[in-house]
Amino acid sequence: MPNQPSPLLERLVNVPVIPVLEYHSVDDALHVSEALVAGGLPLLEITLRTPVALEAIQAVAKALPQAVVGAGTVLTVEQLHAVRDAGAQFAVSPGLTQKLADGAQGAGITLLPGVATASEAMAALESGFTFLKFFPAEAAGGVPMLKSLYGPLAQLKFCPTGGIDIVKAQHYLALPNVVCVGGSWVVPKDAVAAKDWGRIRKLAEEAARLCKG
């Protein structure tokens, strides 16, 4: 299977962070997403971890056409189709099965599959994926692991996610094989509870200023 560049890479040229989002109401989804986009983070990963996730994806995609809405925690081909139909432009999975890899071909949505080892990265490459999520980043070896993967697998690009904050993000972004990082630190739970959208926008602005490799 030929390895084609991920269309998602083109959207990440000046975007160092993809917020990983868990929404419990559509109203929160709209306000938080608006604050993130206004702060300079237009790519949003809305995870399928809550009952309102699909509705939130649909609402944000419709209300914020300038955003690039994605879906996270996609585990099956059925979910891949569901998030595409809801308006997601990309999907993120914590790992990669052969069934999901096959189902992503021609599905009309870009898949960012997760890997944690060299063998998993090689399997993803065989399935045609060259842009991968490194997950769970900190638990799977962090920056040293990605440095080690660069030598034998320099053709791969990564979005490390899992346990990353703004300080750690800078170390990941300095690596030649890291395009961006995924993180939830830009949307603190207490800020959402207090409906402090201004604080979230400031955190997004801070994250958007991070320099990449």
Q: Rounded to whole angstroms, how far apart are CA atoms 59 and 194?
A: 22
Report which of 74, 123, 80, 110 is spatially closest to residue 94, judged by C-alpha positions: 74
Query: Within 10 A of 97 (CB to CB), how many other CB atoms are there?
Result: 15
- What residues does 69 pair with on adjacent strands? 44
Instruction: For 88-113, give the DSSP string.
Output: -SEEE-SS--HHHHHHHTTSSSEEE-
CA 82/CA 75 separation, integer angstroms: 11
Residue numbers annotated as active site: 45, 133
Q: Which residue has the tokens 């904050």?
A: 165
| Cβ 159 vs Cβ 112: under 8 Å | yes
For the sheet with 131-134, list strands across it. 114-115, 131-134, 157-160
